[in-house]
């Protein structure tokens, strides 16, 4: 370096301490959530069963008398059931796909009955590590290993409870895409149309490696306590490890070009990277880490990340090619051209294995993996291509 940045050192950061877990808890405002409880224990792919399963979900629109207009929307890793609507009591963030769901939008709620569950193992109302077991103790680190098939099995029970035998459309991106694909392969008779976004047929070694580093960061946090931290005082959760995991994950969600154009090598305003301060891009990652600690649960992050690493639609089905031949739904598979977490080549492979020609679509975006969340106009066109609409 030839000279120090011209800014003075920054003072100490002052941010509110997060709770031990950002999970929704009994007694919190329900917001727009509803719940379904499974009548029988859920048998798990890895062995054993999970008793007392409950799924939180939200809906928009009205179910037709013949239940023919139901659409299932499946969220990604740190998403939840709040696909559309403002932030408010019970909902720490606004809807993550607001531009897609509502009257006159791609998922027109004057036409479609849209259902979005919080995934099994999550932390916004569904059974997960932060949940209380029948014996009155939180699951914590004793929560069992889940796969996407287990999560879909719970969602099948939700569909049954709502009287939905067949979805007009199942749509999901990233982790949600894994479950959408499992729906179409494992329950082909129940899926009329399928939209898979930014998701492979199976997680590969590099994706598992990224996940392993994140899991290691959380488990190496001294406040992890083997996953049994949920009732610790404010500020005493494994936030350091969760924050490191989130920072790393967020880098994989975006692109070097986008980060460079937004931040370059600029210091954070009022801080000097040469004297203990941060670059603007570091402040950006810190901000996302802090936000997550206030609204998410480290145990759910571990459970869901492990489930994503286990994703392999061909496991136990004679391999990927044989599994994909089970699909009967009308399909579109869309990749983001700048995605470095699940590169476009993986969606190309997935689309080629489906028993339908011309299934691949490309989302043009500078945002990388997060393009499936941000390029809502392009995603909306794909929804309309599958299910019609203006």
Residue positions annotated with a catalytic role:
174, 339, 369
- The CA-to-CA distance between both ends of the chain, in Å, stands at 56
Residue owning tokens 């509110």:
16
Sheet (strand 34-37) strand order: 34-37, 54-60, 113-117, 70-74, 169-173, 193-197, 330-336, 360-363
Q: Which two tokens stand for residue 12?
A: 């100490």
Residue 233 neighbours by CB under 8 Å, 6+ apart? 20
Per-residue H/E/C for the chain:
CCCCCCCCCCCCCCCCCCCCCCCCCCCCCCCCCEEEECCCCEECCCCCEECCCEEEEEEECCCCCCCCCEEEEECCCCCCCCCCCCCECCECCCCCCHHHECCCCCECCCCCEEEEECCCCCCCCCCCCCCECCCCCECHHHCCCCCHHHHHHHHHHHHHHHCCCCECEEEEECHHHHHHHHHHHHCHHHECEEEEECCCCECCHHHHHHHHHHHHHHHCCCCCHHHCCCCCCCCCCCHHHHHHHHHHHHHHHCCHHHHHHHHCCCECCCCCHHHCCCEHHHHHHHHHHHHHHHHCCHHHHHHHHHHHHHCECCCCCCCHHHHHCCCCCEEEEEEECCCCCCCHHHHHHHHHHCCCCCCEEEECCCCHHHHHHHCHHHHHHHHHHHHCCC
């Amino acid at each position: 370096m030839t000279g120090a940045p011209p800014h003075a050192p920054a003072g100490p950061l002052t941010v509110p301490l997060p709770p031990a877990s950002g999970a929704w808890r009994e007694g919190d405002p329900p917001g727009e959530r509803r719940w379904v409880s499974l009548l029988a224990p859920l048998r798990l792919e890895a062995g054993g069963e999970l008793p007392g399963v409950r799924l939180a979900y939200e809906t928009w629109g009205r179910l037709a008398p013949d239940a023919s207009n139901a659409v299932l929307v499946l969220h990604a890793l740190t998403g939840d059931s709040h696909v559309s609507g403002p932030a408010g009591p019970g909902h720490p963030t606004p809807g993550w796909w607001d531009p897609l769901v509502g009257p006159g939008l791609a998922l027109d709620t004057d036409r479609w009955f849209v259902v979005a569950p919080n995934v099994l193992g999550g932390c916004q109302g569904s059974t997960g590590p932060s949940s209380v077991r029948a014996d009155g103790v939180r699951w914590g680190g004793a929560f069992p290993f889940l796969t996407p098939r287990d999560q879909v099995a719970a969602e099948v029970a939700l569909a049954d409870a709502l009287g939905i035998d067949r979805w007009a459309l199942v749509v999901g991106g990233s982790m949600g895409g894994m479950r959408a694909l499992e729906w179409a392969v494992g329950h082909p008779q129940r899926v009329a149309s399928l939209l898979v976004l930014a998701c492979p047929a199976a997680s590969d070694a590099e994706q598992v490696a990224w996940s392993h580093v994140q899991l290691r960061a959380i488990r190496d946090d001294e406040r992890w306590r083997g996953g049994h931290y949920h009732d610790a005082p404010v500020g005493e959760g494994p936030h350091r490890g969760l924050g490191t995991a989130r920072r790393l994950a967020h880098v994989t969600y975006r692109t070097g070009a986008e980060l460079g154009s937004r931040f370059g090598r600029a210091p954070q305003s009022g801080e000097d990277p040469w004297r203990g301060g941060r670059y603007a891009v570091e402040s950006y990652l810190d901000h996302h880490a802090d936000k997550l600690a206030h609204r998410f649960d480290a145990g759910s992050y571990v459970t869901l990340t492990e489930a994503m690493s286990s994703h392999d639609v061909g496991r136990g089905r004679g391999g990927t090619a044989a599994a994909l031949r089970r699909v009967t739904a009308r399909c579109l598979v869309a990749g983001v051209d700048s995605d470095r977490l699940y590169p476009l080549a993986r969606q190309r492979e997935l689309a080629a294995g489906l028993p339908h020609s011309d299934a691949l679509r490309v989302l043009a975006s500078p945002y990388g993996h997060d393009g499936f969340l941000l390029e809502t106009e392009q995603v909306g066109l794909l929804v309309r291509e599958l299910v019609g609409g203006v």
